[in-house]
Amino acid sequence: MKKSSPCCPKFILILIYLVSTFPTFGQFTLGNTYYDSTGFVEYRAGNLPIIISAPHGGDLEPDSIPDRDCAGCTTVKDAWTKPIAEGLYDAFFEQTGCYPHVVINLLHRKKFDANRDIIDAADGNSTVEKAWRGYHSFIDSAKNKIVLENERGLFLDIHGHGHPIQRIELGYLLSGSELRLSDEILNTVDLIEESSIQTLVDDNLPDHDHATLLRGAESFGTLMTDKGFPSVPSQADPFPMEGEPYFSGGYNTVRHGSRDNAGGIDAIQIELNQEIRFDETNRIQLIDSLTHTVNQYLNFYYNDLYLENFCNQPTSIFETNFPIDLEIFPNPAADFFSLKTEWTDIEISIYNLLGQKIKTEIWQGSAIEIGDLERGCYFIRMKKEGRSFGSWKLVKE
């Protein structure tokens, strides 16, 4: 009798979806636009380690969906954030030849708030609940693709604020009072564990600490300020003063960043002021500057070859020298696995289905011990000389 797979049914479904997706990510073809089952959530397929989310920019108000009237519900839309997200999709392609992942809520915020849990987001409406699941499923799928292809990536939740101070507010899930703390305190474990860029703090190329990532010379806010878009936190504006309004991040930044899941995707909520959203010339410059800043940020902190090779495609050296017939055996495996290849000094990283890195070892020809892993399905990501060259599925018995 054939031995059954140890993967539970829902894992099997996820794996079938993920493993069958390359190079076009399953049913998603790069550069094309797709919709969820309700038609109210739009996904633009990407191949960069970047996810752009626009939860409050939609303007559809179908009569079939009642307005949300939950206690404390905000129903004002973030004007111009949908066109800005669409513009970023095009701008990244113009600058890199590649696409970010973009997810947009097409419904007005009075109908659907995609930056809340399902209860407040949908206010009990079954159609909106489906849209909520579609919205976050698109993001989760994009995150899985990024982790498998790039290991690391960045989620950007695009919003608009109406505060009187005309500056971009960058949310890392730290309150204004926390940002006003000293660098020494910001660099403590307790504050790092609150941060939506927790994984980046633990692992970034220049080994910058938390405070430097938030408001140092190469922080996201400083890079934007240097391009003419004042931002907080940044080197010039390290924190909001007491009494000044400031958005620190919401549901999406929590759910999709690295604070709660310790995964490879960090998150920043980007709150855009009215002055740069409402003026067409400013919007065009904003889109261009944001695109350049994200590319700089990824190259500086995540992958110093990113600007040379945006789409993470193998270079000619890798195509010539790296084996294409590498095999993991045994697979399924119980206590160990090894590789069939002529190469050694291969960095092997094991990820679970949440995109969390479980362990990393350098393969020198000996077996990789996995007896301590739980039964289930994993992905193996391999690197040589600092560059990734493939992903494989591993079943742990």
List of the chain residues with pLDDT < 70:
1-27, 312-325, 353-355, 386-391
Can you give the pLDDT at residue 341? 85
CATH of the domain at 377: 2.60.40.3080
Judge if 273 and 331 occupy the same domain: no
Residue 200 · residue 301 · CB < 8 Å: yes
Q: Would 123 be classed as within a structural domain? A: yes
Residues 302 and 321 occupy one common structural domain: no
Q: How far from 111 is each of 117, 126, 146, 269, 349, CA to CA, in Å? A: 14, 12, 31, 22, 43
Whether 274 and 164 map to the same domain: the answer is: yes
Enter the tokens of residue 320: 């010539």
Task: List strand residue ranges (DSSP E) for the chain, in order.
Answer: 33-35, 41-44, 50-54, 101-105, 153-160, 168-171, 231-232, 265-272, 327-329, 336-340, 346-351, 357-363, 368-369, 376-384, 387-396
Write down the pTM of the prediction: 0.79
Report yes or no on 8 lying in a domain. no
Domain that holds residue 372: 316-396
Are the CB atoms for 360 and 348 separated by under 8 Å? yes
In a domain? residue 15: no
- Crossing angle, helix 126-150 and helix 9-19, to 10 degrees? 60
**What tokens does 57 get?**
């920019």
357 inside domain: yes
Q: Are residues 303 and 370 in the same domain?
A: no
| Alpha-carbon span 56 to 103, nearest angstrom | 11
Q: Considering only CA atoms, give the Rg of the chain.
A: 22
Same domain as 368, residue 234: no
Co-location of 280 and 331 in the same domain: no
Residue 193 and residue 326 in one domain: no
**Strands 357-363 and 368-369: what pairing?**
unpaired
Alpha-carbon distance of 134 to 43, in angstroms, equals 10
Task: Tell me, yes or no, whether 280 and 324 share the same domain.
Answer: no
- Whether residues 35 and 108 share a domain: the answer is yes
Q: How far apart are CA 306 and CA 313, in angstroms?
A: 10
Q: How many domains does the chain have?
A: 2
What is the structure's pLDDT at 11?
Answer: 34
Out of 308, 334, 369, pick the residue that ends a domain.
Answer: 308
Q: Note whether residue 50 is domain-resident.
A: yes
Q: Is 41 helix (H, G, I), strand (E, B) or coil?
A: strand
Cα gap 236→228, rounded to integer Å: 12
Let me know whether 328 and 297 are in one domain. no
The pLDDT of residue 388 is 64
Q: What is the pLDDT of residue 9?
A: 35
Cβ-based neighbours of 200, under 8 Å, separated by 6 or more: 213, 258, 266, 301, 302
Domain stop point among 285, 308, 331: 308
- 250 and 320 housed in the same domain: no
